[in-house]
Amino acid sequence: MSIRTLWVLLHGLAMVLFVNRYLGGLALRILRRRTWDETTDGFEPKVTVVIPLFNEGARIEETLRSVLASEYPADKLRVVCIDDCSTDDSFERAREVVDPRLHVTRNLTNVGKRHSIIDAVRVATGEIVVSVDSDVVVDPSAIRQLVRRFASPRIAAVGGWVDVRNKHDNWLTRMQTVKYWYAYFMMRNVEQGFKQVMCLSGCLTAYRRAVLLELEPILERRSLFGLPVKYGEDRFLTRQIIKAGYLTTITLAARCRTFVPTSLATYFSQQLRWRRSNVIDYAGGFSHMWRLNPLLAINYFAMFAVLVVYPITVFRVIAAGTFFPALLMHLEILVLFGLYYRWRVRTWPAENRVGALSFIPQSLVMPVTYALLTPLALFTLDSGSWETRRHGQVTADRRADRRTPRTAPEAPGDRRAPRDTRAPAGGS
C-alpha cells in the first residue's frame, strides 16, 4: 500500500471520527438536551464505596478522608478499603483513618485489583457500589451526583469526571490536562447521547451491585487464548454491561482528581498498559458492537482502524523521508484543539486550566504512543503488570477457590493490626 493511500485512509478515518465524535455529539446534545444528564432525587439507596489499595503510602489517607466527607447520608454510606499486601506502610496509613463507616482489610495473599474488588462486592451491603482508586480525591458532592443519575432501572453504571490534580507540574502534566478535558467534555458525547458509554474509569464509577454479581462469572474467567487478562478491567467491565443489555452514562457533576505521570518513562508505561487494553477490547468487541446504533458502531470500528493504520503510516512516512511535513500538519491541528480548549475554559480559575499551547507536545508524543507502543502492546498481551503492579500473580489456591474471600476479617471499630498472614515477597 502506497504512502499516499495510507495517508488518505488515515485522514479519512480521522475525519469520520471528528464528524462522529464532535459534530455528531454536538447534534445529539442539542436534540436530547432535556434528557442529556437526566437525574432523579427519589433514589437514595445504601452505598458501598470500594477502594482497592496497593503501595499508595500517605495518599490513601487523603483518599479515604475525601470519601468519608461526602455529602451523602452517613447511615447509608459504607467504605471498604482492601489492601492487596502492600510492601510499604499503606495498610497502616489506611488504619489511621478512624470512622465507624470505614472497614479496612488486608488480603491474605496478593491477588490483584480485580479479585479484590470482586471479593468486596460479594460482601457489600449497598445497592450501589462505587469504585474509587486509591490515589484520587473525591469532591464532596460526587457520590450523591452519581447516584442521582440512576434515573432508570436499565442504567447499570454511572461514571464521573476524572480531573488532573497536578496540572501545572511541567509540560507533560499540562499536555495531559488538555487530553483529559477532551476525553470527558467532548469525546464521549455520542456515547452519552445513547447512554452507552464504552469506558467508565475505575477512578470514580458507580455500579448496581446486582449487575456486578450477575457478571461476576464473566469477570472471573476473563482470558485470551487461555491466558488470564490482567489489565483494562474498567473498559472490559463497561463493555460487558452494555453487551448484557444495560445502559451506562457519565456525568461531569461528579468529579474526582488524580495525579498524572510527570515523567515520560512513567507516561509511556501507562500508555503501554492502555494500548494493551485497547487491543484486547477492540478485538473482543467485534462479535457484538455492530449491533449497537450505527453512530456508535462506526465510532468503535473507526477507532480500531486508526489503531492499526496509524503505526503503519508513521513507519512508511519515516521511511520515505516525509515525517517532518506530516508532523507540522499534525502540530497545526493540535494548536487549533488547544485554542478551542482555552476558549471553553476561559472562565475557569487560573489554577484549574492551562495555556492554549499546552497541547502542542502531543504532536511528538502521539507518534510514539501509537507507532511504537501499539506494536509493543501486541507482543506483550500476556503481561500481568497492570493488575498487581508487578507484585506477584494470582495463587493456585485462589484459582481453585473462587468463592472464598481472601481477606483477613476485621470489625469496623477494631483498630488493632491483624496477624500478618501474607505470603513472602514474590511467593504469591
| Residue at grid coordinates 446534545 | 29
In-domain check, residue 104: yes
| Residue at grid coordinates 468487541 | 285
Determine which helix (DSSP H) or strand (DSSP E) holds 356, and give its type and residue range. none
- The residue count of the chain comes to 428
- Domain of 117, CATH number, reads 3.90.550.10
pTM: 0.84
**The pLDDT value given to residue 87:** 92
**The pLDDT value given to residue 21:** 73
Determine which helix (DSSP H) or strand (DSSP E) holds 232, and give its type and residue range. none
**The pLDDT value given to residue 350:** 95
Domain carrying residue 20: 3-408
In-domain check, residue 418: no
In-domain check, residue 421: no
Task: Report the distance separating Cα 316 and Cα 320, nearest Å.
Answer: 6
- Give the count of domains, the chain: 1
**The pLDDT value given to residue 101:** 96
In-domain check, residue 197: yes
Q: Cβ distance 159 to 248 under 8 Å?
A: yes
What are residue 175's phi and psi, to 5 degrees? -60, -45
In-domain check, residue 425: no
Task: Report the distance separating Cα 214 and Cα 212, nearest Å.
Answer: 5
Question: 184, 209, 193: which is closest to 38 by C-alpha?
Answer: 193
In-domain check, residue 419: no
pLDDT < 70 regions, the chain: 1-4, 6-11, 223-228, 230-231, 383-428
**The pLDDT value given to residue 409:** 43
- What ranges in 231-293 are assigned the alpha helix state H? 233-243, 264-285
**The pLDDT value given to residue 225:** 64
**The pLDDT value given to residue 414:** 43
Cβ neighbours of residue 253 closer than 8 Å, sequence gap 6 or more:
37, 141, 145, 161
Q: Cβ distance 60 to 134 under 8 Å?
A: yes
Going from the C-alpha of 275 to that of each of 270, 272, 376, 381, the distances in angstroms are 9, 5, 9, 10
In-domain check, residue 168: yes
In-domain check, residue 422: no
How do residues 39-77 score in pLDDT, each as one tens digit? 999 899 999 999 999 999 999 999 999 999 999 999 999
For residue 9, the 8-state DSSP code is H
**The pLDDT value given to residue 83:** 92
